[in-house]
Structure 1
Amino acid sequence: MAFRDCLISAVDQGALSREEAAELQARFDEQFAQARLSLGDDAAAAAAKDALAAELRYEAAETRRRVLLQDGARARNAEYLQGYRDAKGRPDIFSAALNLLEHYGYAGTSSVAGRAKAITSLAHGAMADVLSTFRRDFATGARRNRPMVDDVVRGLFGEETTPEAKALSGAIGETFELLRQRFNAAGGAIGKLEKWGLPQGHDAAALLQAGREPWKDFVRPLLDRERMRDPLSGGTMTEARLEASLDHVFDTITTDGWAHRAPTMQARGRGSLASQRADHRFLVFKDADAWLSYDREFGHGDPIRSVFEHVNGMSADIATMEILGPNPGAMVEWMKQVVTAEAAKAVAGKPSLYNAGAKTAEGIAEKLNYLGYRIDSVYQYVRGRQVVSSAVAAGFGDVRNVLTSAVLGSASITAAATDPFIDAAARFLSGLPMGGALGAVLHTGRRGTREEAVRSGILLDDFVHIMQDEARWAGTLGGREWSRWLADRTVTWSGLAPMTQARKHVFAREFEATLADQAGRRFDELPRPLRDTMAGYGIDATDWDVMRSVEMHRPKPGSAGFLRPIDVAGLADAPALPKVQQLLGIDATDQALARDQAAAGARRVAEKYLEMILGQTERAVPEGTVRAKSVVGGAAPRGTAAGELLQGVLQFKTFSLSFTTLQLEAIMREVGVSKPRGAAYAGGLALGLTIAGALAIQLKAIANGKDPQPMDDPRFWIQALGTGGGFGIMGDYMFADVNRLGQSLGEQIAGPTIGAGSDALKLTIGNAQELVQGKPTHAGREVVGAIGRYTPVLSSLWPIRAAYRRVFLDQLQYLLDPEASKNFSEQQSRLRRETGQEMFWEPGDLAPRRGPRLERALHR
């Protein structure tokens, strides 16, 4: 009986639905079409049936395994959602659902975002020499030791190479294999390929630009046909099958797979996460040179980027599947419905796990649709939002990058003043020693100290944001390479990026040192703040016993020890293995199985430890939490005008949102423990940040050629509170109608992207209207102002911005603005009127007339 007739009979008997039969027929037709290239019709039909039967048997086994994993994840998450209690002991299923996606303590469990960072950190720690060798140059941002990259690729392909490159490729290969095994254990199905090399990225635009036949002509001689397997017969690829397969690959890459999808009445999503990396890695290159040649022409052109994109992406996928199951999208949908159903019970007056607080039934009912939306928006940000149009996303990203370069060049001054106080608050919450942070920051700038931190499993930002899509205080950037370089170099040259990384390393190393000092104590003997912090990330007494069984790391003989996460992860390879097995309750009858279980258990404890360190580091050095970012952008995809404008609204506000939400959470928790303790924490933080804000204002004034502001004016201290409290740019509006970018409060709230667009309209259409109406345009002055506001690097980098304005912009204004002298005089009068300041480097002067009068800070 023909295959089609079999399907018709199965539908008539009710064994299959029409949709299922159509799907099977489409898969058979694809197999048959491929087989006909080398076989006759009858043989092709038989081969297609056999191949489809084998696929279905494999899929059935995998489906059963994934169903069990998914059910296990749902049971664990249901137990957590039902058992979570807030600081006052009340059930709060909505907060519990968000905790599973992201949290920074007080949750008692791991989150997807936190575990992803922890897995990434351990992977990076195992490749510390790779990070050190290929770190970026401070001045240019270029990757160091670039010639060695090709040698490392050769090592990954199993070819002869230098000893140094072989060691680096060995570390990369071992990390790849560990991640592959763990991905499969979580529900994936990636086969092991000998001499696989590394992932091959494809630039769809480059393929389309080259064209199908030129691409095939280019890639064909680079492939190893002897190692490529025919997916139908399992044998060597014939010429005809290779040609058809290359057509299939080209269409798949350039259409994101849509060229081979049959339309159905069901929505097309990406499906189960477990199956998204289960490809056959079909293109097998002859050798490293072939891979490199293809990568330069149709890939990223940066093998190190390919390495870390793979590591970071696999880590995120593993964390997502381990917590949410092989099909995390389905789990998120289940959580949304569970939370909404519990909220609906509260509306109906029934017992509920939803924390209504002071809201009435009407207020809860109003939020029913919002709850699921909020959970979904956080999940979209955790996983990375869909990009609808890469061209639109890149264009808006370029604008954000240029604005970042034009604005954030002095943010390091504020960070230098405020970070020690924020750091001290985080130490207080975490139970760490309060002193020595500033000196340690200076010390950690040394290369040796930085490498020690990375080797212990602490993230190095350069290799987390391998595409440089994030910058502190700027949020998500995106954009093309040239604009990302501008933004990245500005925050680096200003000192913001190095300072941020240094503070992270200091805080993390302080955690390791503190726990090493406490290793002699049982869990219930630890100081309460430290014990509560550990419990907030799911670390219990058993985990602590495993952690403290490690031999402390001492960089120098006789030095203070560090309890490093990477050493905890490696306990199964140490003499402590029997003790770890006993602590974890592992049956040692089967030694090989017990060792594997102990290794997985030790690694899991290490990841909890790292999740705690990295989570508390976000409190010490705020950059931007997913929850804060998703408040504005929601689930809006990237690459749409609306989504990108929303992203622009968020630019420069990420720090403020994250800082505020984390501190409010901490204050509520501290008040729950003790009202006096909570009040002392909140008051001490506000006082410290106000002093820091005052210092930042004065330092920026001097950097801009102004005398310090008189501090006997109450308005100054209000501005200092706004600046030090995380509002940064918002502090500019305390006493002026416009901010330092020349934009109104409304324009700044709308975001710098919209503000820049408004400025462009004023400069063009606005001046044209004034010209038609016979009004003075001041076009020359406005052109100079726009150049001063939006010139990357020069207009914001604090060591040179004053000189750039006085030596170049002011002289340009003399040429373009007939009333330049009058305008300069008005600037000084306005400054004197609003803040009581004078300029020691006056507008229009090529050099300062005097130094800053520091005594002006004491009185007017």
Structure 2
Amino acid sequence: MSFFDCLQDAIDEGSADKERGKLAQRLWRDLADKYERQGHPRHVAEGLAAEDVKAALRKEAGNKRHVYTATMAARRRAEAIVAQSDQIGTIATDALEFAANSPNRAASVIGQQRAIVRAWHSRLAGLLKDHHRDLLGRTRNPAQLRNVVRELHGESTGDLASIAIANSVRQAFEDLRLMFNEAGGLIGKLENWGLPHTHNQRAIRKAGYDAWTAAARGRIAWDKMEDRLTGRPLAEPGAMPPIEVQDAILREVYDNLAFGKQASEAVYGRSDGESLALRRSHERTLPFRSADDWIEYNKRFGTGDPFATIISHVHKMARDIAMIREFGPNPALGMDYRAQLAVGRAREMGDVQLARRIEGNAAHAKRMMVILNGSLVPAGPWQEAVASFMSTTRHVLTAAFLDRAVISAFSDTNSMRMAAASIGMNPGNVLTRHVKLMADGMSREEALRAGWIADTLADPGLALARFQSEVPPAELAERLSSGVLRIQGLSGWTDYARIAFQMEMSGHFASQAGRKLADVDEPLRGLLRDKGITESEWAAFTDPATLFTASNGATFASPIYWREATDMSRAEADDLFLRLQSIVEEQTEFAVPTNSTWARAFVEGGMPPGSIGYELAKSGLMFKSFTMTFTVNQYRRIMSLPTWPSRASYAANMAAGATIMGAIALQITDLVSGRDPSDMTTPEFWATAALKGGAFGLLGDVAGSAERPFGGLPAYAAGPVLSAGQDAWGLIFGNALNLATGKETHFAKDAVRALDRYAPGFDLPVLGEALDRMFSDQLLLLLDPDAADAVARAAKRKKRDFWLPGEITPSRLPDFFKAVGG
């Protein structure tokens, strides 16, 4: 009796589901025919097909059971959260991004993602220290990095340093896989599979299917790929599957890449609407036969070097783990279910306005999820080209206009002070720690030993993200913008500010060690309660054996250090670590604001990059990301306070501190611009200082728009891209039109001014003024015969300038008495 007949008997007897039985029969017939075409005798082909069908059914049943269990757990969790929360109006967005006024909620997606990323950066400290990018954006020690790639592919190099880094990467990837699976995902284990691959969609599309297939086919380790039906390898070790199997897979992978279906990932066997858990199980990183095969393919069809590939994989897995933990195997459906529950509760309360608010909040959360998933992509080749060009333009303008951003970043000291005080920490300790980290290499080594890694070692664009978030630009532009921010010290300032706050918060945790949870000081006890920390969990976290002890004897209860020191089971430790580190990450974001997904979704509105609306919005948003994030964070912090008097007191304290920091920033700006300090005895100075320091958040930024280098409220709203376009038009076409009509041209003067205004790094602190006087002014005097008179008139007007226009050296020292009206 054939396998087909056995199935038919089971269907007839009622012992097998009819629909599944018929599907298995069709699958068996198709597989038997395939094996027969490959040269197997019919009876052998039918036997192989039967084994495959049985394996496929077992795999399907196991996968479904695993995903179903995770889905039901997510549903029960959602029901409990909605039932307990007293902030259901914003329940969808609060689940994605932390907010100070959303109690009775576990860690947010972004909080968990950042916690995982920070922990895994710590595990990859050797890689980050040895291979992070230099000031020119180049990966350090590329030769050793190639050895790391070889070790990851199972090729022995004998390089002990590379072996150690490869082992840390391999273990980090494995732990991420296990964490993803425990949350409800499905990723099988592969030995020495190497590295994932980020494909260059444009290069693949340009090459075409035939050329791409010819380059990829022989490099793929087919024996490391699993048949999606059975879970078995597609080929024996070292062999290749039948050509028809290869062609079917390669065609599907190519179509996914070339036609934009999850264009950065090669996917084999995905269906629309599939859960994140199943999608990850079907992903194919196209495992390569050797490190050289990976490297050669990457040169032609890749978008990142090995260092960027490793870091990108960690960040993507962290995002997916956080999503699936929060919402279940299908995050979009899980978030929608939570919103439906909240709407149902509002209806039971008879509150129509609340129900409508929840629906609007859920719609906004969907836009946020699109941004977090990276699925906001251009709709076609034309939009892709426009998006890349505009992103590149904005990066160049960032390098030109934000070359003094570190001065504005001094306002972080005020937000750090306020964030520390709001959770019961000593603000002075945080600021002192920040100064020590900036100035003392030994302090930085101590932080590294405890697991605190500078974020920009892994992601040099993090400092830039404080001011704008972009689709990928041309590589040179990205290097230029991040390089300018690092040269002026903004990256280091941001890194050490965040590390300082986290270290002091860990010290604050340690100061409460040995106490019962009920005896922990407020408001820390409230933060722990909101994350569901139990008495036994608090005792485990503050166990003296798991505290980090510094060289001076100080102790720190760091979730990152604790995760590696605890003997708690891995799954329990991961869960507790994520909740604890999320507290730290959330409070750090209030202290040193970086980027708000809520604000981005509000401005970008889910429009695809490259579209007119998106590009206009991104231009208008330029340099406002920090201000928007700061405004959103402070509003949430203020509204979380219990009474209006306490809210007013906090707002006044924050505004006063911001005004003082704005005053300091104004005076520093004057000095590095070659001017005497401003008179601090006038009301106008303090009004400007309040705007400069962010005392009024976004409103103050708008009110002070006339002070921008591209000045005026309309120009502020439109952003610098349109202003730059207008200047470029005047420089090229305006002067050409004047030349054609016999009018006087000002090309030399306009060109020098454009160079001075738009050249990246030409306005760096101290260096910028020297370039203006020693290069730009001298070039203008050389090229424009009328410039001498204009420079002389400007020098007479600028009586506060101690470094006058046209002068190669300063004419005098700054007059500091001007600051007090002298």
Q: For the superposition of Structure 1 and Structure 2, which TM-score range results when normalised by the shorter chain?
A: 0.7 to 0.9
Structure 1, unaligned runs of 5 or more:
86-91, 262-266, 357-363, 578-597
Aligned amino acid, residue 193 of structure 1: L
Question: Would the aligned equivalents of 1:133 and 1:145 in 2 still touch at CA under 8 Å?
Answer: yes
Distance 2:63 2:223 in 1: 29
Give the Cα–Cα distance (whole angstroms) in 1 for the partners of residues 699 and 335 of structure 2: 36
Give the 5 Å matches for 1:20-419.
Answer: 38-39=38-39, 51=52, 54-55=55-56, 57-85=58-86, 92-107=87-102, 108-137=105-134, 139-160=135-156, 161-224=158-221, 236=235, 241-256=241-256, 269=272, 271-279=274-282, 281=284, 283-300=286-303, 302-339=305-342, 345=347, 351-352=349-350, 356=354, 370-388=360-378, 389=380, 390-416=384-410, 418-419=411-412
Counterpart mapping for 1:509-520 below 5 A:
509-520=503-514
Task: State the AA in 1 paired with 2:76.
Answer: A
* 1:67 counterpart letter in structure 2: Y
CA shift for structure 1 position 516: 1.3
Counterparts of 2:353 and 2:35, CA distance in 1: 60
Letter in 2 for 1:38: Q
Partner residue, 1:360 = none
Matched residues in 1 for 2:29 and 2:367: separation?
39
Q: 1:435 aligns with which of 418, 422, 428?
A: 428
Structure 1 residue corresponding to 2:806, chosen from 820, 825, 844? 844
Structure 1 residues 586-623: Cα deviation after superposition (integer angstroms, max 9, x where no partner): xxxxxxxxxxxx33222221221211111111111111
Helix, strand or coil at the partner of 1:165: helix
- Aligned pairs for 1:444-843 within 5 A: 444-445=437-438, 446-454=440-448, 456-458=450-452, 460-462=454-456, 465=459, 470-476=464-470, 478-556=472-550, 559-570=553-564, 572-573=566-567, 598-670=569-641, 672=642, 675-725=644-694, 738-764=706-732, 778-794=746-762, 796-817=763-784, 819-821=786-788, 823-824=790-791, 827=794, 838-843=800-805
2: distance between equivalents of 1:801 and 1:25? 76
Deviation digits for residues 454-510 of structure 1, max 9, x if unmatched? 554545323553776953223336312111100111110011110110111111110
How far did 1:841 drift?
1.7
User: How far apart, CA to CA, are the structure 2 residues paired with 1:196 and 1:637?
Assistant: 34
Cα distance, 1:822 vs. partner?
5.1
Offset of 1:222 from its aligned partner?
Answer: 3.8
Q: CA shift at 1:656, angstroms?
A: 0.7
**Contact 1:571–1:602 (CA under 8 A) maintained in structure 2:** no
- Against the structure 1 CA distance between its residues 846 and 731, is the aligned structure 2 distance closer, same or farther, given a 3 Å change threshold? farther
Residue by residue over 1:87-136, the C-alpha shift from the partner in whole angstroms, topping out at 9 and shown as x without a partner, is: xxxxx312222211111444342111111111222222222222222233
8 Å contact kept, 2:463–2:594: no
- Note the alpha carbon deviations across 1:262-320, whole angstroms, 9 max, x for none: xxxxx974531112221374744333333333333433452122222112211111111
Q: Is the 8 A contact 2:89 2:361 kept in 1?
A: yes
Q: In 2 relative to 1, CA 806–329 (structure 1 residues): closer, same or farther, beyond 3 Å?
A: same
- 2:89–2:358: 8 Å Cα contact kept in structure 1? no
Please list the CA deviations of residues 411-465 of structure 1 after superposition, one character each: whole Å capped at 9, or x if unmatched: 111213x222221111101211121334322322445543543554545323553
Q: Which moved more, 1:615-624 or 1:443-452?
A: 443-452
> Structure 2 vs 1, CA of residues 125 and 353 (structure 1 numbering), >3 Å: closer, same or farther?
farther
Note closer, same or farther for the CA distance 1:522–1:210 as it changes in structure 2 (3 Å cut): same
Seen in structure 2, the aligned counterparts of structure 1 residues 29 and 680 have a Cα distance that, compared at 3 Å, is farther
Give percent identity, aligned residues only: 30
Equivalent position SS for 2:681: coil
SS across alignment from 1:623:
coil
Using a 3 Å threshold, how does the CA distance of structure 1 residues 603 and 155 change in structure 2: closer, same or farther? same
Change (3 A) 1:33 1:564: farther
Q: Secondary structure in 2 aligned to 1:436?
A: helix
Deviation of 1:740 (Å): 4.1
Letter in 1 for 2:650: Y
Letter paired with 1:668? M
Letter matched to residue 83 of structure 2:
Q
**CA displacement at 1:763 relative to structure 2:** 3.9
How far 1:226 moved relative to its partner?
Answer: 5.9
Could you tell me how far apart the structure 2 residues matched to 1:243 and 1:822 are? 78
Aligned in 2, Cα 1:455/1:291: closer, same or farther, shift over 3 Å?
A: farther
Amino acid aligned to 2:334: M
Partner Cα distance (2:29, 2:781) in 1: 75
Given residue 698 of structure 1, which amino acid in structure 2 is its aligned partner? Q
The offset of 1:234, in angstroms, is: 5.2
CA distance in 2, matches of 1:535, 1:342: 24
What is the TM-score of this pair, normalised by structure 2?
A: 0.86
Deviates more, 1:308-317 or 1:232-241: 232-241
Structure 1 residue 551: Cα displacement: 1.8
Tell me the secondary structure at the aligned position of residue 256 of structure 1: helix
CA distance, structure 1, for counterparts of residue 113 and residue 640 of structure 2: 26
Unpaired runs of 5+ residues, structure 2, are 12-16, 262-269
Cα distance in 2 between the residues matched to 1:730 and 1:502? 29
When residues 242 and 332 of structure 1 are mapped into structure 2, their CA distance, relative to the original with a 3 A threshold, is same
CA distance, structure 2, for counterparts of residue 685 and residue 759 of structure 1: 38
2:574 corresponds to which letter in structure 1? R
**Between 472-481 and 657-666, the greater mean CA deviation after superposition:** 472-481
Q: How far apart in 1 are the matches of 2:502 and 2:726?
A: 43
What letter matches 1:784 in structure 2? Answer: V
Paired positions, count: 793
1:786-810 alpha-carbon deviations (Å, 9 max, x no partner): 222211122x322221122222222
Aligned match of 1:586: none
TM-score w.r.t. length of structure 1:
0.82
* AA of the residue aligned to 1:372: A
For 2:186 and 2:530, the matched residues in 1 are separated by: 33
Contact 2:777-2:806 at 8 Å conserved across structures: yes
Distance 1:21 1:771 in 2: 82
Once residues 21 and 744 of structure 1 are traced to their aligned partners in structure 2, the CA distance between those partners, rounded to angstroms, is: 71
Deviations 1:562-596 (A, max 9, x none): 112134324553xxx5xxxxxxxxxxxxxxxxxxx
